[in-house]
Amino acid sequence: MRSPISPVLSISGLVKDVGPLPTLDGKMLRVVSGLSLVAGRGQVTALLGANGAGKTTTIECAQGLQKRTAGTISLLGQDPDTAGAALRSRVGVMLQDGGLPPSARPIPLLRHIAGMYQDPWPVEDLIRRLGIDAFSRTTVRRLSGGQKQRLALAAALVGKPEVLFLDEPSAGLDPQSRQMVFELISELRNRGMGIILTTHLMDDAQRLADYVYIIDAGRNVAEGTVAQLLRHELETGDGGPHIRTLLFEAEPGLDLTGVLPEAIEVRESRAGSYSATGALTPSDLAAVTAWWAVRGIMPSSMSLEARSLEDVFLDISGREIR
Ligand SMILES: Nc1ncnc2c1ncn2[C@@H]1O[C@H](COP(=O)(O)OP(=O)(O)OP(=O)(O)O)[C@@H](O)[C@H]1O
């Protein structure tokens, strides 16, 4: 596990059992099994995992909203299970369902929350930054999903928190709003806020996160910067090669045996659609194009793709994340 210079959240060996559940003959269900992570100040730390991986449970334990079964948690140096309101005022939380009062209107709601802090973020600035003016007369219950998300982010930021928890921050956002929210998140990170993001969207993690914990079935399965994960420098630290895929379309039934090294996996996924995946070198690409030249093959398309975080997740868990 990494050790950032200034951690805002440290979780070690977190275990969470829920139940007893009638569906399990009255037994408890372990939904988080020994998970550990550290999130630093001035960084975006992502918890990436498929539906049901245990992200929300972990984050709710970190916020003191759920009591843990075992393990230790330090949020801004305090145990969230025993800390009081003073800790909560230093933490911003943006939940997926917003958690905002349905009959409130955006601007009075933000002003009301600002009134609870000594030195709040200027409400006008948040309204402008998150485009809230466009729906300021609508009650929370009538806001679209994306508008609710933007308002929930503003509400989480009014108190100028030191730590910000974001649960699926881009859910329901159109491309412009997503850009707006991503720019704000990057700026907050640069100002020194510690941001913890839970998501099952590879793209969000890839665009925003300084450090990623991939979790599956309540456990850590891999961690690293996006670049490290893509290079396969997982916890084992093998610093492996760049994996790429060469894709091309040509006549069906070509036999590429012997053209590429055995470690490169060649497939014809559908008739005439080929992929070659592995640690491809420039010589491998030259070998394929020379082979085409000798046989007079002119592919109708060809491309070279780098691995995505999605590929990494698939390799590790054998499951699709999204
Ligand atoms: N109180 C509970 N009773 C029964 N099962 C529970 C309970 N709380 C959590 N679970 C189960 O534990 C697992 C982890 O849930 P959690 O909400 O933490 O996942 P998640 O990674 O946040 O998923 P998502 O991306 O879908 O939000 C799920 O399979 C969920 O159904």
**What residue's CA is closest to ligand 1, atom 10?**
31
Q: Are 248 and 209 within one domain?
A: no
**Residue 216, helix vs strand vs coil:** strand
Whether this model's ipTM surpasses 0.90 comes out as yes
**3-state class (DSSP) for residue 51:** coil
> Which residues sit with their C-beta closer than 6 Å to ligand 1?
18, 21, 29, 31, 49, 51-57, 200
Residue nearest to atom 24 of ligand 1 (CA): 51
Looking at residue 240, its pLDDT comes to 53
42 and 177 share one domain: yes
Examine the domain organization and report whether 270 and 208 are in the same domain.
no
Q: For residue 158, give the CATH number of its domain.
A: 3.40.50.300
CA of 57 to the centre of ligand 1 (A): 7
Domain that holds residue 138: 7-230
Angle at 276 between CA 275 and CA 279, to 5 degrees: 145
| Domain shared by 218 and 280, yes or no | no
As averages over each run of 10 residues, the pLDDT of the chain (322 residues) reads 79 96 92 97 94 92 95 97 91 82 94 94 94 93 90 94 92 86 93 93 87 93 85 49 85 94 91 91 96 96 83 70 50
Closest-CA residue, ligand 1 atom 2, reads 18
CA of 11 to the centre of ligand 1 (A): 18
**Whole-number Å distance between alpha carbons of 152 and 12:** 29
203 and 249 in one domain?
Answer: no
In a domain, 44, yes or no: yes
> Where are any strands of DSSP class E within the chain?
7-21, 27-40, 44-48, 70-75, 91-94, 163-167, 194-199, 211-216, 219-224, 244-249, 265-270, 273-278, 301-306
Q: Are residues 226 and 260 in the same domain?
A: no
Ligand 1 probe mutation, 11, 14, 31, most atoms within 8 A of CB: 31
Q: How much distance in Å is there from the Cα of 52 to the middle of ligand 1?
A: 5
Q: Is residue 174 part of a domain?
A: yes
Is residue 29 one of the residues assigned to a domain? yes
Domain boundary among 185, 206, 230: 230
Look at the chain and count its residues. Answer: 322
pLDDT at position 233 is: 46
At 319 the pLDDT is: 60
Q: What is the pLDDT of residue 194?
A: 97
CA-CA distance, 112 to 69, in Å (whole number)?
Answer: 36
In the listed set 230, 262, 279, which residue is the last one of a domain according to the structure? 230
Establish if 257 belongs to a structural domain: yes
Q: How many folded domains does the chain comprise?
A: 2
Half-sphere exposure of 172 (CA within 13 A, CB side): 17
How far is the centre of ligand 1, averaged over its atoms, from the C-alpha of 170 (Å)?
Answer: 20
Q: 14 CA distance to ligand 1 centroid (A)? A: 15
Instruction: Identify whether 311 is part of a domain.
Output: no
Judgement on whether residues 90 and 197 belong to the same structural domain of the protein: yes
Residue 200 counted as domain residue: yes
pLDDT score, position 236: 39
| Contacts of residue 295, Cβ cutoff 8 Å, sequence gap at least 6 | none
Same domain (yes/no): 198, 249 = no
